[in-house]
Every structure is written in C-alpha cells, then in structure tokens.
Chain A
C-alpha cells in the first residue's frame, strides 16, 4: 500500500530552449503549486564574492520588465497564494502555491523573471536588498547565540577554495561589495532556461497548461551551458580543534567528519546511523547523555549530504559545569561501542518504521511534493523516486550501518567548541 501511495504519475519533457518541465496532476485539492529550480547555488560562487547566489535570489523578487518591485508578492497574495524562494549550496528555488483557478499567474511571473529580469534592475533596488540581506545575516548569525558556529565549522572542514567552505548567506564584507555588474553577469551565466526545471503540480488541466508553458517560456532564448563546479574530494590531514567565544551561557561542542555526497553508496546508512545515535529518547547518545548521565542539555546529529560532498555532524550543548572534553569522550566511546558490538534489530526497525510513515505524512502538502520532484530530478534525473528513496533505507542492513560508522567516524575531524565569553 505504501508503495502505491508513493508512486507519482508525472510527465517530463523539455522545451526547445532546454527548459525541463515536469507535470504532476493531482485533483485531490483545489491548489496548484509551481516550483522552479535553477541549478546554481553558493557552490558556484568564488572566494571574495560569496553570498551572491542568495542576494541574487532576493533580487528576483524586485521585479522584472513587466512586474514592479514587490509585484510577485502583491499578485500572488491577492490571489490568496503563498510564495517564496530559497538558496542552498547546490541550487536556488522559487515557488508559488495558488488556488487552482489562478494556475496561470505563477507561470507569467516566473517566465518574466527568467526571461526579462535585467530591464527591471536598478541601483536603488540592489542597495536596498543588500541592506535587507545584511540584516538577515545579523538576525540569523551575528545576533544569535551560536549563530557563527556553522560557518566556522565548514570553513575549517573544507579548505578555503572548496565551494562548501563558505556560508550560503556569504561573508558580510563580500555582501557589501556587490554591484549591478555582478547581478547582470550572474543572471546571464546561470539564469537561462537550459539551467532550470519547472515543476507544476496539483489541480490543473494538462494540455492547456502545456500550451501556456510553451507560450510563456518557449520564447526565452537558450543560454550558454553554465560552467560546472570543479572540485576534488578533500580529507583532513589532521584533527582540528577550534575554540570560539560567544555570548552564550552553555558551552556547545560540534564534531564534523567528512563522509559522502547525496545518494552515494553509504548515504542512507549514514542517515540511519544518525537516527540510531540521536533521533529519539531511546537513541544511543540521547539515552546515555541526556537521559541517564544528564551531562548534556541536548544532542543531535545528521548526515549532511549534498551534490559534491557530504559530512556527518554531531552537536551537543553541555550542562552547566560539564567540560566539553568529557562529552567528546562519551560520544567517541558510544561510537566505538557501536562499531565493536553492532546495532540491534530493534534499533534498525525503529528507524525504518519512522522513516516509512514520515514519507506518507509528507504527501499531505502539495508544495513539499513538487519540491521533492525537483529534488529527485536534480540528483537522480528521475522525479518519481519516492519509492526508490524509501527502498534505499529499507535495504540498509545492520552491518552497513556499522561499516559506515567505521569508515567515517574514526577519521580526522573538526572539533569546534563554542564557549562563554570570559
């Protein structure tokens, strides 16, 4: 039954200009979701010009030839819809969910900025959004407890020329420097139809929508093939320990290990490993450090896998008076124990059952489904991969989980200690 539910009926084709289109009709609710992925993220930036993919995403809401500043919000909200965009290391997405009878509106909006963004640009708009983004950075990084930890961690895990070494939002001094020339060049390089995929999902008429997609997007000229991000796999030659003082009451330890990229051989096993270590009260590190010994306030872990590389991260906040060294030792002991003695059938079953139902629960929201279709299409070139994705986890064995831990969690790593100032 699960498999039937997770099977997605879709149609995929390309326009003459290279724009990929994925249609997912689903008449169960009167909404239509439109979701565009551009295959560009902060990994496409260069040192000294970091944060640009994200700033550019902001500029995409500042209007284009036929859409005024803030027009995207006004049109979509007036229609009762919702909209946003997001930037990650590997891609940038833009999405609208509208009442089904407004399905044409997002096609008009998305095509105008894909084809005619430059005529809407002004210095004033750029200056305004640089201020907004610098405030976004202050709000979520500088002015947050532990807010600077992640960029510290990744800029040490990867060498400075690796595209995953800088934060997606960029370094403050880089954000301040961008000019209109940068915007135009970035647009011309990456925002062409042949570097994008358009997903339309929900309650719409397929032939009519196909005609409209051709009408709105078909005449946008194909661009040059964007340059590939080139990088080599990196390994730390030694373990690094970094201390960061911050305005915090409790110390926090971050451990980062190199692992593997998304959908690679050990990726699913590493996800299950993180579940077994920290995802519930009964998970090993939770049970030992939070529940029994009570030496940490919280602990979490995850396999952070992306297009070019991956890492396994463990984060834990110390209880007052507990040294981070003690916590690190406990974590390492648990990992060693897992590697020596293996995991149980029960642990594996718990992880798999939770994953299985979470896939079904995720089918409640159309905007999540269409974003997932783009996600699978980007990584696997096959939008209908829910069943495949779930089977990756169902096929993981106890031995594979242990092997993945052994292969990666005994290696050199980065240890970051965030400690109270003074």
Chain B
C-alpha cells in the first residue's frame, strides 16, 4: 500500500494498474470535471504530482440521503476516485473507527493537513438553544463546523440541508436550522438537492481534484455547470408545455399521454438542477419521467412553497387553501363594493352640488346673449 499522501498515480501503480489504464481513468475524470478531453494533460499532471487530498465529511442535521445518493454514483471509475483515491479520513456513516478513535482521526487530519483537506458538510446546523439539538462528542455542530472550516482548502455543502436548510429550516424552524454558508466566512460550494444527484456530487469533487480550484458558481453559490438551467428547460415533456397540453388530473388521458405536469404543481419551471439531463440511478429516470411533478427539492424554502400539487403556494397568514388569487379576488370584490357604496354616497351627499352645476349650465338659446365673450 502506498503512503496516505501519495499521488493517485502512485496509488494506482502500487495496485498494478498500467500507465495506459491510468490515462484512460484521467480521461473519465476530465470529462466528469467538465474540462473535456482537451483538459486531459492537466488532469494527468494533477493526478501524478499532487498528493491525494484528505477529505473530512461532516454530518449534522440530515437524513444521510446525500451519502446514500453519493455511493450510487453511476460511474464506477468516479466512485473509485472517492473511495480509493481520496483519503476519506472522517465520515461518521462510512468510517470503521468509532468514538475517540474517530475524533482522533478528524483532529489528526485538521492538524496535519491545514489548508489541504476538503471539507464536505452534510446537514444544517441548529443554532437554537445554543446548538444543543445537534452535538457530536459533546460539542455542538456549530463548534465543529467553525473549527473544521477554518483550515479547509475548500468547503462543499452537500444537499439542501447544508445549502439552504431543507425541511429542518421550514417554518417555524424550531431548532434554528441554518445553512452553512451563513455560518462560515468563506465561499462555500452549494450542491443543493434532496438528495443531490450522485453524478453531480462526484463531478464537483472531481473538479476540485483536477483543477485545484472551485468550479464557477452562480449568485447562490451553486456550480453553474449543473445548476445553470432549470429542470424545465431540458425536460423531455417541455414540448407539451409549449403546446399547452397539460395533465389535468392524475388519472386523465393527458397523464397517460405523458403531457406536461405544470398544472399539477410541477416545480420544474422554478427549479435549477440537472435532473432532466443526467437523470438518476445510472440515467434511468427522474421524477417527471416517472409521472410525478418536480417538487423543487434543490430550491430554497421548497417545503414552505407547498402544497406540492398546486401551481402557486398558499398565502402565508391567510390560512389553509388560500392562494394569491383567492385573496386578490376577495380584495377586488371588497374594492368593488366600496366603490359602489362611494357612488351611492356621492349621489346623496353631493346632490345639491351636482344640481347647482346642472342649473348653472348654459342653455343653447342663451348663447349670444349672456354667453362669455
């Protein structure tokens, strides 16, 4: 076995891979990272000279669906990158160590590789009641995150919990769940989704490995490459949308024909993700392909923008089952009633005023005698 800080090429060599196989692997990595085959020399250079970066994977308020998604990366080669060729030093879910041993591994990594390790965070951080809702080894999540983030080479927020708070952060947010980019004073790569797509996760990590820098982010900290387009933009049902052919109820003819799910509350038009391009489970399908609308799981506040099966969310403060249109229509009716009342009052109150004007009006026969001149 090669030393823990050996390069990926050294590691592969020690396992008996040929140089040709190594370059072939680099080509996959280059494509995954979005630099294309033209970027191959860079990848080869990085993988043979740079020591494989240690990785710390923290779990806070989450359900581990991100990890579950991640280990189903459809590219076995890429999965290899992460489990064999990254030095995954600390991750509660997958590590063999436990208790003090595990904590020791975390601290060793932070002490021995300052500025080198990649910090992956899964889950939000509760701030309520001094953070007692999530503690590990007697320390609060907030504490652990602050320490781990300080010397990390890069920080990635896995999933909606870490990126925008997800369900814990939904109103009324009893634990004060907070996305991590609000807690640490440095750029965070947000990879939202509940969970994020496995291939997107591996691609983001591969980008860091290959390029040694963050991918291009949008104004919400998400990699443009995967979150630059809406699910709607590349949805295979999009032509039905433009044609105005919609599913009207779950068991109608339109549903059988595979029409657009827009009227069933599909969040595809307001959700930025790569689902309709990469799809899930080795490119098998994605929610809309399975006949269910997108619920917008990679968007901020998606739990608060419900119900999932209606186009517009409920109006906060107006009770259940009130859309903006119902509130607006009620306001319009009230305004109409007010105007009618005003018209009646005007005719009563201003009667003499109006009559005075009518009486003061010039008669056609008077023009020429008393008219103005």
Partners in one complex: no
